[in-house]
Structure formats: C-alpha cells, structure tokens
Amino acid sequence: MMKDRRNNNPVSFFEQLVARLVEKFLPKNNFIVFGPGELTKLWEEIEAMEPKMAVIEADKVVDVVLKRAGVPGETMAERLRKVQKQVQRPIYSGMWEAHKMRNRLVHEVGHNNGLGNYHDLLWKMKKFLISLGAFKNE
C-alpha cells in the first residue's frame, strides 16, 4: 500500500489509478445552472445593491452555482476546495479573499473595513464564475 501524502491515509495503487482515470475521463461539473440571461440579470441586481449586501448576495450566488452543479461538500469552503484545480490559482485566491470578507461581514459586529473595494470583490467572484463557465449560457 502507498500513502497519500496529503493526509497520510493508506491508499492502494489501484484506488489512486481509478481516481485519476475518473478525474481525467468523466465530464467535469456543468456550471451552467441558470437559464439564458438569468445569471447576468441576477448579477446586475447584485451590483446595484449597497456594498455589504452586494458582497453577501454575490457569495450566495457562487454557492448556489456550486451546489446546483453538484459540487460535493457540507460547506461552501469545502465546495470551493473541490473546484480549486478547475480555475487558475490567482482567480481561486481572489474568490477565497472575497468569501473571507463575506464571512467577516456576516460574523463580525460592525465589520465594514475593506468594503471600499467591494467592486473588486464582486469582480473576483464574477471572474471565478466565468472561469468555471457559469456565464457561458448568457
């Protein structure tokens, strides 16, 4: 038996091979989960909101896309980790930055620091969705 270096669990060579084949040959998640034009309309509504609500709602939309696309995970953070390799590192990092800001806005009393750049946060989330192909139907 070989050991998976990421979490030190024993994994057989056969299991590793099957996992690689599944990843390579099965189609990736389809992230087009809204009807034609719906995601663009929704995003325009988000961009018209006040900054705090816009960041929170945009984060919700990203999570809805991941859920509807069938990305597994109990939390949004787990779902984000599952699609990490499907987007470029800077885009993924930007999405994490935006998600962490959303968490601070929701969980920390009076937290509004960093909202001066909320357009940048919204763009990072939108770019993440674009990278996944969620806007291809628009």
Question: In this predicted model, what pLDDT tens digit does every residue of 8-60 receive, in sequence order?
Answer: 555 567 666 665 655 555 445 689 999 999 999 999 999 999 999 999 999 99
Residue 19's Cα: distance from chain center in Å? 22
Residue 67's Cα: distance from chain center in Å? 10
Q: Is residue 35 located within the same domain as residue 12?
A: no
Distance, CA of 98 to CA of 127 (rounded, Å): 11
8 A C-beta contact, residue 130 and residue 58: no
Q: Is residue 42 located within the same domain as residue 102?
A: yes
Tally of domains within the chain: 2
| H or E element, residue 11 | strand 10-11
Distance, CA of 2 to CA of 18 (rounded, Å): 14
The answer to whether position 87 is within a domain reads yes
Class of residue 81 by CB neighbours under 10 A (exposed 0-12, middle 13-18, buried 19+): middle
The answer to whether position 138 is within a domain reads no
Q: Is residue 82 located within the same domain as residue 114?
A: yes
Q: Is residue 53 located within the same domain as residue 2?
A: no
Distance, CA of 83 to CA of 132 (rounded, Å): 9
Amino acid at 95: M
* Each residue's pLDDT tens digit, 80-127: 999 999 999 999 999 999 999 999 988 887 766 656 788 999 999 999
Which residues form the domain of 47? 31-132
Which candidate, 138, 19, 132, 137, places its Cα nearest to that of 86? 132
Q: Is residue 62 located within the same domain as residue 118?
A: yes
